[in-house]
Amino acid sequence: MIGGQECVPTEYSIAFPHWTKPFNDRYINVTRYDMPDASIEDMIDRTVALAVKVVEARGGRTVERDGKKYLVINTKADFNPPMEFCVGPEPRIVSGEKVNYDFSCVTNARYAWKLVSGTLPKGLKFRNGHLSGRTTQIGEFPIRLSLSNGVETLEKDFNLIVRGRNVAPQGHIVASSTECNFAVLDSCWTTNSHSYYAKDVSVINDGVLDGEGSVFYSLTEKSNAPKQEWFGYEWDEPVTVDLVSFHYGCLEEFGGWYSDMWVEYMNPFGDWQKVPTIVHPALPESDIVFIQPHFAEFLFFFSPVRTRGIRVVGNVKVQDHWHKYTKDVSSFISVSEVQVYEAPAAQ
């Protein structure tokens, strides 16, 4: 990349005799179905034109020497990105555990942050866009933050959720699939690093949300037959719970997510029974591939139940794919963690 095209051997960039330009001057959109194929040269020209426009707007200039154009950059230029709140995972706050969360990011950390309204959970403090401390006050705490550059001020509402104790580590995993069939997966058109993939379902209860070896694919065979998958826990003794957290892992073009999902608990007779839930954030509006979130967490809230078993259940999305082998592989779920939280004691 640093050396440019000159460092790419010709046999790699002009692979066929009928090609006259590197990579045949074609960028082929394989997965971005809503975008056309494009000329590589045209993409480069438009990218350079935008770069020149930005540099000149910040005091730089274009000069010509010996028939070549050069871009002179104003090294003292100050880039002020548009003022806006970052959009990303919400703070994960568990009762009794240390909190260290930044609402700010590299583009807005310089601005003035303020807690406009709402009350923080006891034990937490907010300063310069940073939330820290430790709390045992379980519940939901709506707050409003402001962001100001001295001229303009923006405000945004947030809902801090303090969870009870995670009781999943004391449970035994119950799952529809327990091992990934790598013989099938290795033949598929995968788009994620294979270092993510775990051998078995035990990783959903290790406390690791992402990174190497953190994701389980419930891929057991070469199949795109409709089916249900479930992941959860059973305990030796009853527990009282009111919140389940489901973390997706990395998703593939050909599958890994639910068309719909819900929570079931084990009733006193040992049968699985669906429990009414409120989901936060809301599940995707549809199951189309383009809007499925990687490594997203969904919280399922419900009235407290005392039970010896909890699981997340759903219908697996069967996703079409263009690849000859992969088009017949789709029925699986990608999951990195399932956590179950203890309900607070009745007051």
| CB within 8 Å of 32: residues ≥ 6 apart | none
Instruction: For CATH 2.60.120.260, list the domain ranges present in the chain.
Output: 168-342
In angstroms, the CA 333 to CA 316 distance is: 7
Transcribe 60-92 into DSSP letters: -EEEEETTEEEEE--TT----PPP----SPPP-
DSSP state of 200: B
Query: Is the previous residue joined to 281 through a cis bond, with omega within 30 degrees of 0?
Result: yes
In angstroms, the CA 171 to CA 169 distance is: 6
Question: Model confidence over 139-190: pLDDT tens digits?
Answer: 999 999 999 999 999 999 999 999 999 999 999 999 999 999 999 999 999 9
Transcribe 247-272 into DSSP letters: EE---BTTBBSEEEEEEEEE-TTS-E
pLDDT interval class at 81 (50, 70, 90)? confident
**pLDDT at residue 347 is higher than 60:** no
Q: How far does the chain reach from its first CA to its final CA, in angstroms?
A: 62
Instruction: For CATH 2.60.40.10, list the domain ranges present in the chain.
Output: 93-163
In angstroms, the CA 87 to CA 85 distance is: 6
> So what's the pLDDT on residue 303?
96
Transcribe 3-59 into DSSP letters: S-GGGS-HHHHS-STT--SGGGG-B--SS-TTS--B-HHHHHHHHHHHHHHHHHHTT
Give me the residue label for tokens 């327990």.
Answer: 178
In angstroms, the CA 296 to CA 325 distance is: 28
- Closest among 294, 190, 200, 188 to 249, alpha carbons compared: 294
Question: Model confidence over 9-23: pLDDT tens digits?
Answer: 888 889 899 999 999
**pLDDT at residue 54 is higher than 70:** yes
> So what's the pLDDT on residue 134?
97
| CB within 8 Å of 111: residues ≥ 6 apart | 83, 104, 147, 148, 149
Question: Model confidence over 183-213: pLDDT tens digits?
Answer: 999 999 999 999 999 999 999 999 999 999 9
Question: Model confidence over 84-118: pLDDT tens digits?
Answer: 998 888 899 999 999 999 999 988 998 999 999 99
pLDDT interval class at 35 (50, 70, 90)? confident
Question: Model confidence over 226-265: pLDDT tens digits?
Answer: 999 999 999 999 999 999 999 999 999 999 999 999 999 9
**pLDDT at residue 5 is higher than 80:** no
The pairing of strands 334-342 and 216-217 is antiparallel
CATH number of this structure's domain 93-163 = 2.60.40.10
- Closest among 180, 185, 195, 219 to 326, alpha carbons compared: 185
* Averaged confidence pLDDT in the chain: 93
- The share of the chain scoring above pLDDT 70, in percent, equals 98
Is 331:188 a contact under the CB 8 Å cutoff?
no
Q: What is the pTM of this model?
A: 0.83
In angstroms, the CA 39 to CA 47 distance is: 12
Superfamily of 168-342 according to CATH: Galactose-binding domain-like (2.60.120.260)
